[in-house]
Chain A
């Protein structure tokens, strides 16, 4: 009985979504591939709410190209096969731009439909590397950093700014630390021109790291990258300095923070680290948070801001292009910079966000200072 009730409820819900009347030409329709039910609903709902509030804000300011914006909400339950059906429905209902999906698998599956229909897709949440890096999804953009973004940023900064030739990659054998260094190795190999002379894991919390430090010295690495947390990092770093090893130390967001600076003390000076961009002081961030608070009486969820930014980017690109033509929209998205709650963001040619995500910081006078 319960199952039947659920099915009926789901059917009604889907019908309600699809029953949105289409008045071609009167409104601009943005389809959103959300997740409203299932395990991942909390994530999907945050993105739907982000899009809704963004659309309200845009409509209050007069809409896009003088037309009011209408949101078509779909639910893919984070299942690729449902996502394809949902995409077909959105397209046939006349969606002109797409925000979504949340799950990478859904985005990859559904994007074939959107690509054939000539629709621009901006995802607030799909982080899978292949979406942008393989070049198979020319209509795809995203307002969130891809999985390898941090490793990509670290490796390209190491090669281009630090001019590293030989790199030692150390990690703490954990999922986070080793995962980060595995990605870094992959990106270094892709970049070329940088030799990985050492790739080693250490025991976290060990009383002594001098053997691994001697190994780094012997490898003559001019850059040492660390995947792991701040405590082991500062032990290794201080030994490197005490043993007069000439190598630059560079870590991920595991060592970005005041704890590391306090622990490493004088040895911390000059250390590089990547860390997430700080957006909490952004006035737009504060304003949209307040709107969400007012409407739902709780703090915004994970993808709220990136979905808000996705709708903003689409709207701004359409305004700039002067039409919804695919090529013009795409060019506008790439050339445009938009003021969003995530900061001033744009997109690169692959479709990845610029300006949101991670930055490189360096310790200077006992504080992390942004350097890129």
Chain B
């Protein structure tokens, strides 16, 4: 999965060039952009926000897939649990009358800790016993886990939508730009960029990152050279869950409501983004998410929002026709 990092610059450049040179003008003409550049900018930034959201969730899918070739369908639920935890913590602390900045930080911390704990436990319960079983068994186990977590939250909390008071204030200094991109959207983009950089450092320069890359390449060989594969896999789940939790809290702030089912659609879109970028590849997931988010946003803006999903899936089909393993994915034969 992480081998592609070396080649990313050249390939990324080619792809971005390809999309901008052929895709965008081909779809709606450069005239539209020139006629109303502000509108284009608004749509582009909106798409960037949406792509960042997808990316935070897609990372978890792609990292897990890269290491154990499993599509972790319970990942969307980890994201939902992150948002739920933040809501509960924020409501309780809000009742105690704490400072809003403290509440925001604590809510984020608790959401990350809880989601990591869930991600860790899910792996231990649902996937570890099936590590050497056929892939299909693990996939079914993942779907079962997803359904279990959804229904567990529904029964333990409520089936209704809950209002989610934004933890990120409408900063006053941001007011002049608020009509183009809201403070929350800006926070989402900035947080995603920071998370990506931290993740990149983790994978590229730390010991555990090196171990992750080794495990991704060859589990048996990695264990032979003294890497504790189980620990590495657990770490991958924990890191993926942490990014999902960040995504969950940010999106809840963005849309202002959550319920037990939000993980499904968000998870599905993020999964598509991961496949689009090449599942198993970290830069691929980010790129796929951004391509999906931006193209959805532009399509809605210039065409019809009715067909937004149709368009998203059409892109997926087209890209998979030409590059069956995704934009940045490495070619391999897989059964799932």
| Chain A residues engaging chain B, CB cutoff 8 angstroms | 173, 200-203, 205-212, 214-215, 217-218, 230-231, 234-235, 238-239, 242-245, 259, 262-265, 267
Within 8 A of A (CB), among B18-61: 36, 39, 42-43, 46-47, 49-50, 53-54
CB closest chain-A residue, reference B54: A207
| B178, A243: Cβ atoms closer than 8 Å | yes
In whole angstroms, how far apart are the Cα atoms of A214 and B302 in the complex? 11
| B305, A207: Cβ atoms closer than 8 Å | no
Q: A202-B305, A235-B255, A235-B257 are in contact. Are A242 and B182 (CB under 8 A)?
A: yes
A-B contact pairs, 20 of them (CB 8 A): A207-B255, A207-B262, A208-B293, A212-B300, A214-B46, A215-B300, A218-B39, A231-B257, A231-B259, A235-B256, A238-B255, A238-B256, A239-B182, A243-B180, A263-B162, A263-B163, A264-B163, A265-B163, A265-B165, A265-B256
Nearest CB of chain A from residue B305's CB, rounded to whole Å: 5
In whole angstroms, how far apart are the Cα atoms of A265 and B94 in the complex? 16
In whole angstroms, how far apart are the Cα atoms of A243 and B293 in the complex? 19
Of B43, B161, B265, most buried by chain A (CB within 10 Å of CB) is: B161
Nearest CB of chain A from residue B18's CB, rounded to whole Å: 23
In whole angstroms, how far apart are the Cα atoms of A264 and B163 in the complex? 7
Hey, which chain B residues are within 8 Å of A173, CB to CB? 306
The 3 A-B residue pairs with the shortest CB-CB distance, nearest first, are A210-B46, A211-B300, A201-B306
B213 within 8 A of A: no
Interface 1/0s, chain B 219-248, versus A by CB < 8 A?
A: 000000000000000000000000000000
B269 within 8 A of A: yes
In whole angstroms, how far apart are the Cα atoms of A259 and B162 in the complex? 9
B65 within 8 A of A: no
Hey, which chain A residues are within 8 Å of B161, CB to CB? 230-231, 259, 263
B304 within 8 A of A: yes
Of A217, A239, A242, A263, most buried by chain B (CB within 10 Å of CB) is: A242
In whole angstroms, how far apart are the Cα atoms of A214 and B38 in the complex? 11
Q: A203-B309, A234-B257 are in contact. Are A214 and B43 (CB under 8 A)?
A: yes
| Chain B residues engaging chain A, CB cutoff 8 angstroms | 36, 39, 42-43, 46-47, 49-50, 53-54, 160-163, 165, 170, 178-180, 182, 184-185, 251, 254-257, 259, 261-262, 265-266, 269, 293, 296-298, 300-301, 304-306, 308-309
Nearest CB of chain B from residue A269's CB, rounded to whole Å: 14
Of B165, B261, B304, B308, most buried by chain A (CB within 10 Å of CB) is: B308
Hey, which chain A residues are within 8 Å of B261, CB to CB? 205
Hey, which chain B residues are within 8 Å of A265, CB to CB? 163, 165, 256
Number of A-B contacts (CB under 8 A): 105
Hey, which chain A residues are within 8 Å of B50, CB to CB? 207-208, 210-211
CB closest chain-A residue, reference B40: A214
A200's partner among B256, B269, B305 (CB-CB below 8 A) is B305
In whole angstroms, how far apart are the Cα atoms of A235 and B164 in the complex? 11
Chain A binding site: helix, strand, loop or mixed by DSSP?
helix
Chain B binding site: helix, strand, loop or mixed by DSSP?
helix
CB closest chain-A residue, reference B269: A207
In whole angstroms, how far apart are the Cα atoms of A212 and B297 in the complex? 8
Nearest CB of chain A from residue B306's CB, rounded to whole Å: 4
Nearest CB of chain B from residue A63's CB, rounded to whole Å: 52
| B178, A211: Cβ atoms closer than 8 Å | no
Nearest CB of chain A from residue B278's CB, rounded to whole Å: 22
In whole angstroms, how far apart are the Cα atoms of A212 and B307 in the complex? 12
Nearest CB of chain A from residue B198's CB, rounded to whole Å: 23
Q: A235-B256, A263-B256 are in contact. Are A211 and B306 (CB under 8 A)?
A: no
| B257, A211: Cβ atoms closer than 8 Å | no
Hey, which chain B residues are within 8 Å of A264, CB to CB? 163, 256
Hey, which chain B residues are within 8 Å of A259, CB to CB? 160-161
In whole angstroms, how far apart are the Cα atoms of A244 and B251 in the complex? 19
Hey, which chain B residues are within 8 Å of A242, CB to CB? 170, 178, 182, 184
List 8 extra interface pairs beyond A207-B269, A212-B305, CB under 8 A: A205-B265, A208-B53, A208-B254, A210-B185, A214-B46, A231-B257, A234-B256, A235-B255
Hey, which chain B residues are within 8 Å of A231, CB to CB? 161, 257, 259
Hey, which chain B residues are within 8 Å of A212, CB to CB? 300, 305
In whole angstroms, how far apart are the Cα atoms of A208 and B269 in the complex? 11
| A211, B301: Cβ atoms closer than 8 Å | yes
Nearest CB of chain A from residue B82's CB, rounded to whole Å: 14
In whole angstroms, how far apart are the Cα atoms of A203 and B310 in the complex? 11
Q: A212-B305, A214-B42 are in contact. Are A243 and B179 (CB under 8 A)?
A: yes
Of B160, B161, B184, B255, most buried by chain A (CB within 10 Å of CB) is: B255
| A211, B184: Cβ atoms closer than 8 Å | no
Nearest CB of chain A from residue B243's CB, rounded to whole Å: 15
B39's partner among A214, A230, A234, A243 (CB-CB below 8 A) is A214
| A211, B296: Cβ atoms closer than 8 Å | yes
CB closest chain-B residue, reference A230: B161
CB closest chain-B residue, reference A203: B309
Nearest CB of chain B from residue A176's CB, rounded to whole Å: 16
| A211, B256: Cβ atoms closer than 8 Å | no
Nearest CB of chain B from residue A4's CB, rounded to whole Å: 52
CB closest chain-A residue, reference B302: A215
CB closest chain-B residue, reference A229: B161
Hey, which chain B residues are within 8 Å of A217, CB to CB? 42, 179
Hey, which chain A residues are within 8 Å of B306, CB to CB? 173, 200-202
Hey, which chain A residues are within 8 Å of B160, CB to CB? 259
| A214, B163: Cβ atoms closer than 8 Å | no
Q: A234-B256, A263-B256 are in contact. Are A211 and B46 (CB under 8 A)?
A: yes
